[in-house]
Amino acid sequence: MVIWKSPHPDLDIPTDLTTWQWAFEHPSYSPVANPSSTEQGAYIDALNPSSRLSFPQVKQLATSLSNVLVRSYGLQPGETVSLFATNSIWYPVAMWAALRVGARVNGASPAYGVDEMVHAIKTAGYLNFSSGTTGLPKAVMLSHHNIIAQCHQLRQLQLVTPGTRYKILAVMPLFHITGLVRFCTYPLLMNGDCFMLTKFDLPAMLTCITTHQIEELILVPPILIRLVKDPLARPHLPALRHVVKRWSSGSAPISPEIISLLQHNFPSTGFRQGYGATESTACISAHPPSHYAYKYATSAGKLVANTAAKVLSLDGDDDDGPRRELGPGETGEICARGPQIAMGYLHNPKATAETFRDGWLHTGDVGHIDEEGLIFIEDRIKEMIKVKGQQVAPAELEDLLLGHESVEDVAVLGVEDAYAGERPKAVVVLREGVEGSEGLAGALLEFVRGRKVRYKWLVEVEFRESIRMLRPSAFPKSPTGKLLRRVLKSAEMDKQRVKGIFARDDRERARL
């Protein structure tokens, strides 16, 4: 049996506390309850820093609100409070108030449509929603222990410059698992300051970073792409170089090209990446301080404390017998277990049984673990393209094409092929000023042919209309930057769709 275990010392994580008790009442963990904590952390409006709530104020306000919810609205333990709100210093007050009562908290996107909103309300619990890359998001049940464990795992790897206070900028939505853990909960354990960005504006965000001297940023790939490519970011780069010590990314893969540009623009900084999902309360793995160098940036780091992992073969079926456990460097499905693994999906026993088996979270992610214990994620199982039975990871081809000087954004998906079953097609957005043509599309086909094995060659390249950096992506993406290939595949099957400029290569069909 090939099981990887975290290289970090095991942590003694409390199992008998609610998050409210842990954050506000226990002297070993709460800065509010610790008499030696003279200077208290706070939630601060990043754009209006005079608007702030210290943690003692948060406790007082949340206590008052919880009393109102019980006495005036009849809220009872076990009932649900759904939070449909954008980022603000008041969001965690509402969250903590519900938790104090013993209610279940559900953070959901305020941008949801009617169907999504109804789905969120009906399935809410003490949970967050999964990304929903294959349909409506599933309601993931998280325990108090899950969240407490994740915070302790993160603190073990945290670096804070001596003599300074832990600070974080809440850029991503608070309803996302990163927001729940990193921005609402973790700052209390660190007795740090969380600067809430109430609305996203790139220059304003960059000004906040330098003004508030925030040394480590937790961002998503779309923001990092703008940081290294958007002309609006350039005037801020010199000041950022004096402040930022580490860039951190998660939620979606980041291409080697963007990592290279980040290192070029900020050569004295480090880079860390977290890997996980809502089902793992965020991180299964992350880069420890020993691996902040950019040479490790394409990996997802090492397993966090108290966590184990295994890699299962993609062939075979659990119903027909156990899948093979793979060794170092062998590609398969990443599975993990640890105190941060969720309880399951609310009111969805079928999905729970498929994903959570014998204590292991089956992530649905394809990847491998090397001899050093570094995790590498290649793609999602459901998004793998099968070419005559051989697996092709769309992300691998996307990373390659993003390195081409003409390409701004790209999505690779599988299209039906009578001979091979499926073949990969690239939908490309060109950089501003680059004109699409059949010749350029053909050149991109050749670009891949010269660098990849035959079964990974593209059958077609199609251009979407070029877009400016300031406009939204031409591709459907989740709020955290995950490409929603299912939406693109649905559009691909639409017979009424007007196709863009494209080039197709059927020459290799008989030779695959």
Question: Domains in the chain, ordered, with CATH?
Answer: 4-380 (3.40.50.12780), 384-511 (3.30.300.30)
pLDDT for 471 = 38
Residue 495, pLDDT > 80, answer no
Locate the DSSP E strands across 287-430. 302-303, 308-312, 332-337, 344-345, 356-357, 360-369, 375-380, 385-387, 390-392, 407-417, 421-430
pLDDT for 477 = 64
Q: What is the mean pLDDT of residues 206-226?
A: 93
Mean pLDDT value across the chain? 89
Q: What is the mean pLDDT of residues 489-496?
A: 72
CA distance 145 to 196: 25
CA distance 259 to 379: 18
Q: What is the mean pLDDT of residues 41-47?
A: 97
What share of the chain in percent tops pLDDT 90? 66
**Model confidence pLDDT, tens digit, residues 417-456:** 877 888 999 999 898 889 999 999 999 999 999 999 888 9
Residue 463, pLDDT > 50, answer yes
Query: What predicted TM-score, i.e. pTM, was given to this entire model?
Result: 0.82
CA distance 233 to 255: 19
Residue 366, pLDDT > 80, answer yes
Q: What is the mean pLDDT of residues 225-245?
A: 95
Q: What is the mean pLDDT of residues 106-127?
A: 73
Name the band, by pLDDT with cuts 50, 70 and 90, for residue 500: confident
Q: Are 196 and 89 in contact (CB under 8 A)?
A: yes
pLDDT for 131 = 56
pLDDT for 422 = 86
Residue 483, pLDDT > 50, answer yes
